[in-house]
A and B are shown apart, each in its own frame.
Chain A
Amino acid sequence: MAKEKLLLLKNIREANYKGDLDSYRKTGGFTALEKVLSAMKPEEVVEAVKDSGLRGRGGAGFPTGVKWGFMPKGTGKPAYLVCNADEAEPGTFKDHLLINEDPFLFLEGMIMGCYAIACHHGYIYIRGESIKSAEHLQRAIDSLYKEGLLGKNIFNSGYDLEMTLHRGAGAYICGEETALLESLEGKRGQPRVKPPFPAVSGYNACPTTVNNVETLANLPFIINEGAEAFKALGTPNNSGTHLVSISGHINQPGVYEVEMGVTIRELIDDYAEGVRDGKKLKALIPGGASSNVLTADEIDIPYDFDSLMKAGTMMGSAALMVFDEDTDIVELAYRTIRFFNHESCGQCTPCREGTNWLKHMIRDFMDDNGNGPMLERVDRVAEGMIGTTLCPFGDAAGAPIRIFVAKYAADFRNHFAQ
């Protein structure tokens, strides 16, 4: 196996690391926080993160420092930092590794993030199904309160911070930041109209930033080692390392920490030890179910935001799903659209009706009842969902289906009615 570049998983990869507060402290934990609270102004933290080029790891890849910079000052309203730990994208399981194995790394990052945007009450929104992780995280938060690392006057700096863990009710769409905020406010979880963006009117109509778990977990390194050290990793405009969840027909599925820019082929062959049972690769979904599929010929590209964008897909939450030569793409398309149909919040017309209609049609292909006009219709119905909905869900559901049809039409033709 190729060697991982360890920033985030440094502790976790230690054989005897227990993940409690004491062991985190022994590895040098909270030195960054102490440095931030005692010697840095909030703006300096924002600048450091801007300089590091850190991009959000939740899916959109938006520069974190720039996002923080959007937070208006002097509004008279409290500012909020909400950590998105919903992690519901099919194929993604990196955030839960951090939460379960090394929660204090990301909590330290979160406290620094709160400090940077002058937030005095942070929220962590964790998906409803993750009961064990939520309990674990709550224990971690409790121990921080006990140690005086949360609450009033942290490190005698005069900075106060409360932190609340909120469990969602198990809806994929609540990973979309405005739906998450609706849900956090106790409402039905469905995306809001933008603008106003959360930075202007987010949680309880106050300025709010929503950051992913992994994004925040990068902060201790950036503060300790400096923005330049972080920038030195990865490729230009895609700095740092990132966690890749590799799953599917692969010999060693799991989370791998690699520098941005390692190629997809390297990830599959060198890190995850190749396709299972020595079979050939047929298809690869690079960034969770909502990213467009790549064929076996298209994987010699660096695995970073920009390269994948250029290849017509996206890195999303870095969830690599590998499919071998025996995979029936129609089945894969059906599983994908069934998921999106089940998870659509239902408020926008194209997504509500389109996902259901697509599901029915692809089901027909599964039953060997397809035909040419129906295949065209699948493409047409999927196309109508792209770019016409309130949130990116329509794109996320429609685009992969279109690409499945475009790249693997033969698989669909195999299911034409005889």
Chain B
Amino acid sequence: MARSNTNIFSLAIFRRPGISPADRFFRASVLTVALSVFAITAIVAYELVRNSRLPIEKFGWSFLWGTTWDPVAEQFGALPFLYGTLVSSALALLIAVPVGLGVAIFLSELAPRWVSDPVAFLVELLAAIPSVIYGLVGIFVFVPWIRNVLEPALSGTLGFLPLFQGAPYGVGMLTAGIVLAMMVVPFIVSVSREILMAVPLSQREAILSLGATQWEMVRIAVLPYARSGIMGSIFLALARALGETMAVTMVIGNRPEIRLSLFEPGYTMAAVIANEFTEATSDLYVQALIEIGLVLFAVTILVNALARLLIHSVFTKVEVRE
């Protein structure tokens, strides 16, 4: 049987002298369509750069560290949005990574197959729920709960930290982080679970035979082996969190200020685009928003590329060893 990564039609025996016009046409048309995928991706990047010319010329790099966002005075600095995006995503990962890894370990090491598969499917359903639905539940359920229960509790116990000071608004960085965590956890679970299941049995048997407990096996033999793949799943989740728009817009409070406290409202790059795009009156204003989109685009491409690299490296490692 032919290897799955060879194309039958390019094998030497089928390379007849003079391919028929019909076949030539067929090949050319599918190739054209396929190349259009490449073209579209390039055009997206080009359009983003082209349509953010004005602020790039006017502000240069200071666009990235300017802290004033004042459309009336036409002064645009994106730092509060960069800060909000980074902090809310970091917070989301802080919650989602341990929980997601816990689920992945449970599903790959403890649960029998007939439990593991349906549960993994249910967890993936979390990723299928539209962002705006998270926002809807966020506004009416999580925001009041966080304002009335979680934030008073946190300021009561950890209130000496500047992170947990200030009035409990409900909307703010903390809420955005929690909602984002729910949205990205399925990405960590599904990728990590597969990576953990790809760790060779011999790896586990070796350490069990030395008398390790099951947890020690996971900690010493399984997790380190799968480390780069797990990192990959985390970057994948990070890329999702960075670009997430609707749910965050609905619960983060939308105030372009940099505050240390997680209780305070913040703003993210995606949220400011969603909120202000249709209201932007001048060309410079619109293009400043598009430039924020460009920054977001660049960052997510980098993070995604890193994720793929890491995940890929694990699977090639597994293939080579076995």
Q: A and B, one complex?
A: no
> Which residues of B does A touch, CB under 8 Å?
none
- A interface vs B, CB < 8 Å? none
